[in-house]
Each structure stands twice: as C-alpha cells, then as structure tokens.
C-alpha cells in the first residue's frame, strides 16, 4: 500500500495536477473571480430582487378637459401613480421608459403603450380597470389574492442555481483555455511532449486541478446562498455533487477543445467569447429558457449550460432524483466525452 501511494505521488499525472493547483493559487485575481465574484453577484441581485411591496404603475395622462377626473380615478386605485402632462412630454416619457402607459385625451380614452413591454401590458389592465370602475362598472365578484412568498419560489431561488452553473462554465472554460494557451506561447507544451509522459496526462492534469477547486468554489457559494439568502436545497447533496462534477467535466472538456489550436491570447479570448456568450443568454441563467421561440428550443436545450442549470434547479428546488434528470445528465456526459476526445485528437503541442 505504501509503495502504491509513493508511485501515485510520483506519477506524471499527479505531479502535473499538483503543479497546476500551485500555479493557480499564485494568481490572486483568479481566486477572486472564482470565489468572491459569484458571492458579490448573488448579493447584488438578492438586494435588487429583495422582497418588497409591488412597484406602483406609473402613467401619464394627456392634458385636456377630462384629465383631472381621470387622474383622480387612477390615483384612487392605490396601484397607479398618474401625472397630467402635455402630449409631447407624455410621448417623451413613454419612449424613454419613465412611464408604462399614456392615457390620451379622447372620449372614450385611448391607451398608448408598447405591447412588447410586460409592464405596459400590466399598466393597460390596471388603468382600464380603474377608469371603468370610476365610470360605474361593478365587478361580478371580487377574487381573493394569494401571494407567493415561500422559499423555493422566489426569483433569488431561481437565480442561484443559474449563477452556480454559469460559474462552473466560466471557470472551466476560461481557466483551462487561457492556461493552455499561455503554456503553448511559453513553449512549455513542447517540453511536455519531449518528456517521458503521455500526452493525455498533460490534458487530464488540467481537469484534475479544476476538480480540486470545484469543491471549494461550489461549497462557498452554496453556503452563502443557504445561510444568507435562504435558498433551499430540497434534494440530496450527493445528487447535487454528481450534477456539479458532471457539469464541470463537460466544460473542462469544452475548454480543452477550444484551446486545442489557438496560439495567442487574442485567439483564445475570441473563441471563448464565441462559445460562452450564447449560453449566457440562452441557457436560463437569469430567466427561463421558455421565453425563447419554439423554433430554437432544440438548440437551447442542447447547450451544456442549459442542461446543467435545469439539473441544478431540479435537485435544489424540486428535490428531483437522478433518474428524473437522466436527459440533462446525458447531454452533459456527451459534451464532456466528445469534447475531450476531439481535444486530444486536434491538440497542437507547439
């Protein structure tokens, strides 16, 4: 047993992995982006989307004979903040987003709003309801309201798994890609080829070093989310760990593939942005992937970050077992295996 441990410590893979870990620890800025930045971003978004009363609907009422009665009716609703202004000023405020809707001085009133803005559609319903009631309309019934406040249903609960997935992706791709290109530029990869070790061990060492930091990175963010933000973890920690590790392997493989050919930092930067930008937008980090049209849903669902985010939310918010996450885990496994295989085949060592 002792001999096996000594041989393991002396193996090229173990030595390369240790060297990569030590090299990373000597980069304070990298540690900041890996550990501190996700927590700061979570804190800022938690403050921005904290629990607070609903924002009032801001509307403009065009000057005219009926402007003052309409303003009073809207203000009496308790949900609307109206202001009587000239038409030119109302148009300017609507165009710049200062108000969600303008009530024009026509009889009956005309609602001027942008249907592409959700807040404008809400304003149209609120304004119409207030003016109709002021004109004498009586509702057939008054419904009760039940507001969502329990943990697991808030926006911050939706957001934290997305931030965790984004961090796993970003550090997996960026850290691996730039480290390899820097080694290529410094002729270090060429020296590795001449040494008595297998080429796959050089690439696997990057993967191993990434997994070393993965545990600390994920634990730090989850502890902050659970104890400071109150984000629940409904599923098992073992299932969550497996999802995170599989996601990390997928993105490390993708990072190796992206770094297989570039010879300059500009080249790897461009390829990395080209790869990660669609996932930042389309993979449900900040909002649901259901907002995209059905025509591009196959592309969205095939992205590795989409699979990782869906799996993380399934475990953390729904307590889903691994069997229920089989499609997402399969997507991550395919991305990891195919990317690593292609990277090993296409890799430029000098």
* CATH 3.40.190.10 residue spans of the chain: 57-134
Report the chain's terminal Cα–Cα distance, integer Å.
Answer: 39
Burial (CB count <10 Å: 0-12, 13-18, 19+), residue 39: middle
Low-confidence ranges of the chain (pLDDT < 70): 1-54, 145-153, 188-204, 206-207, 209, 349-350
In this predicted structure, what is the pLDDT of residue 62?
A: 92
Q: What residue spans of the chain are helical by DSSP H? A: 2-9, 12-25, 28-31, 37-48, 67-76, 87-95, 118-134, 155-170, 176-185, 188-194, 199-227, 237-258, 265-282, 297-302, 304-318, 326-346
Can you give the pLDDT at residue 229? 75
CB atoms within 10 A of CB 228: 12
| CA 190 remoteness from chain centre | 37
pLDDT at position 197 is: 64
* The token pair that represents 79 in the structure block: 């949900």
Distance, CA of 166 to CA of 173 (rounded, Å) = 11
| Spatial separation of the C-alpha atoms in residues 330 and 34, rounded to whole Å | 26
Query: In this structure, what is the dihedral angle of CA atoms 240, 241, 246, 252, given to the nearest 10 degrees?
Result: 120
What confidence tens digit (pLDDT) does each residue in 16-61 have? 666 566 666 566 655 565 666 666 666 665 655 555 556 788 999 9
| Helices 155-170, 37-48: inter-axial angle, 10-degree rounding | 160
Specify the pLDDT at position 4: 43
Q: How far apart are CA 76 and CA 55, in angstroms?
A: 16
Give the CATH superfamily of 57-134. Answer: Periplasmic binding protein-like II (3.40.190.10)
Q: What digits encode the pLDDT tens for the residues 303-334?
A: 999 999 999 998 988 888 888 889 999 999 99
Q: Which helix (H) or strand (E) holds 82?
A: strand 80-85
CA 39/CA 328 separation, integer angstroms: 26
d(CA 56, CA 303): 38
What value, to the nearest 5°, has the Cα angle with vertex 214 and ends 211 and 217? 160
Q: List Cβ neighbours of 39 (8 Å cut-off, separation of 6 or more).
A: 220, 221, 224
């Amino acid at each position: 047993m002792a001999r096996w441990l000594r041989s393991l410590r002396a193996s090229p893979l173990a030595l390369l992995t240790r060297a990569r870990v030590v090299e990373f620890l000597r980069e304070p800025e990298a540690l900041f982006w890996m550990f501190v930045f996700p927590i700061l971003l979570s804190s800022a978004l938690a403050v921005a989307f904290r629990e607070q009363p609903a924002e009032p609907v801001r509307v403009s009422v065009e000057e005219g004979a009926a402007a003052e009665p309409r303003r009073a009716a809207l203000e009496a609703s308790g949900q609307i903040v109206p202001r009587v202004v000239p038409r030119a000023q109302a148009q300017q405020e609507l165009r710049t987003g200062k108000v969600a809707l303008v009530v024009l001085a026509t009889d009956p009133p005309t609602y001027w709003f942008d249907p592409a803005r959700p807040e404008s559609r809400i304003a149209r319903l609120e304004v119409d309801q207030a003016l109709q009631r002021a004109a004498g309309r009586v509702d057939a019934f008054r419904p009760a309201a039940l507001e969502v406040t329990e943990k697991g249903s808030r926006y911050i609960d939706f957001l934290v798994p997305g931030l965790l997935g984004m961090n796993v992706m970003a550090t997996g791709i960026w850290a691996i890609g730039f480290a390899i290109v820097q080694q290529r530029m410094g002729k270090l990869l060429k020296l590795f080829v001449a040494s008595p070790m297998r080429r796959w061990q050089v690439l696997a060492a990057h993967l191993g070093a990434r997994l070393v930091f993965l545990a600390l990175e994920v634990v730090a963010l989850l502890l902050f989310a659970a104890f400071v933000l109150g984000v629940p973890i409904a599923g098992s920690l073992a299932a969550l760990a497996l999802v995170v590790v599989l996601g990390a392997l997928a993105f490390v493989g993708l990072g190796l593939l992206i770094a297989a050919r570039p010879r300059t930092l500009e080249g790897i930067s461009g390829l990395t942005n080209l790869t990660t930008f669609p996932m930042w937008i389309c993979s449900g980090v900040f909002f649901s992937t259901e907002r995209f049209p059905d025509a591009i849903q196959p592309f969205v669902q095939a992205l590795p970050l989409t699979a990782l985010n869906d799996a993380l939310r399934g475990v953390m918010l729904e307590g889903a077992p691994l069997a229920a996450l089989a499609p997402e885990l399969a997507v991550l496994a395919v991305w990891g295996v195919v990317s690593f295989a292609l990277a090993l085949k296409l890799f430029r060592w000098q």
